[in-house]
Amino acid sequence: MSSKSKKIGFIGLGVMGKPMAKNLIKAGFKLKVFDIKADVVAEVAALGAEMGTSPAQVARDCDIIITMLPNSPQVIQVLTGEDGVLQTVRPGSIIIDMSSISPVVAKKMYNAAAEKEVEMLDAPVSGGEPKAIDGTMSIMVGGKPEVFESVKDILLAMGGSAVLMGEIGSGNITKLANQIMVALHLSAVSEAMVFAKKAGVDPERVYRAIRGGLAGSTVLDAKMPLILDRNFKPGGPIWMHTKDLLNVRDTALEIDAPIPLTTQILEAMKAVKADGHQNDDHCGVIQYWEKLANVTVKRE
Catalytic residues: 175
Distances (CA, A) of 169 to 102, 107, 161, 164, 239: 8, 6, 18, 11, 23
Please state, as a whole number, how many other Cβ atoms lie within 10 Å of the Cβ of residue 258. Answer: 8
Q: Do 15 and 22 touch, CB atoms closer than 8 A? A: no
Q: Rounded to 5 degrees, what are φ and ψ at 123?
A: -145, 65
Q: Do 131 and 137 touch, CB atoms closer than 8 A? A: yes
**Angle, CA 196 vertex, CA 193 and CA 197 arms, to 5°:** 85
Q: Do 190 and 220 touch, CB atoms closer than 8 A? A: no
DSSP class of residue 27? Answer: T
Q: Do 266 and 252 touch, CB atoms closer than 8 A? A: no
- Within 8 A by CB and 6+ apart from 286, the residues are 186, 189, 190, 193, 194, 227, 297
Q: Do 189 and 218 touch, CB atoms closer than 8 A? A: no
